[in-house]
Amino acid sequence: MNRTLQPLNQAGFTKYGDVIEHQGDQRRRALSIDFTGEHDDMRRAFWVSKVVEATTLPARIKFLERHPFSDQAFVPLRDTSFLVVACPDNPDGGPDLDRLNAYIASPGQGVIYRRNVWHAPLSALTAPAEFFVTMGITDKAANDEFYELPIPLAIDPEA
């Protein structure tokens, strides 16, 4: 199964979350990250992830992940392009691979994946790369769910 990359923009990504970038003429663009959850110990977590090796295109996605209790945000700290791969649930709660979309985030863009959105792991197209990451976490349940794809998914700039 191949997917073609498309440029990341808010209009195309809205069903999965928000693109972190300035838009319009206003001085500020407000963004919302939902850290609320059903657990009383839910707290905000912040960290910096380092990517040592760049992902090459066409990329092969072997698994997807999602976070059931919180949105998750990725903001590049360097001039970095990265893959943004996301899909909604199918009726049984797993990823709906038929409706999967693949985007390329340009340098200067970040993303906020909404709670429970299936997405590929962080894949920087230039390295080394560093990303500021934030999400809500709890000690009372698993903060991450993973789905191993039966056949790796090829993400191709020109499929």
pTM here is: 0.92
DSSP state of 12: H
- Core vs surface per residue 80-90: b (16+ CB within 10 A) or e: bbbbbbbbeee
pLDDT confidence of residue 153: 93
Residue 7 has pLDDT above 90, yes or no: yes
Task: Quick: pLDDT tens for 20-77.
Answer: 998 888 899 888 888 776 778 888 999 999 999 999 999 999 999 999 999 999 999 9
What are the chain's domains? 1-21+56-111+119-125+140-159 (2.60.120.480)
Band the pLDDT of 109: cuts 50, 70, 90. very high
Give, for 11, the enclosing helix (H) or strand (E). helix 10-13
Give the dihedral sign, CA 51/56/57/61.
negative
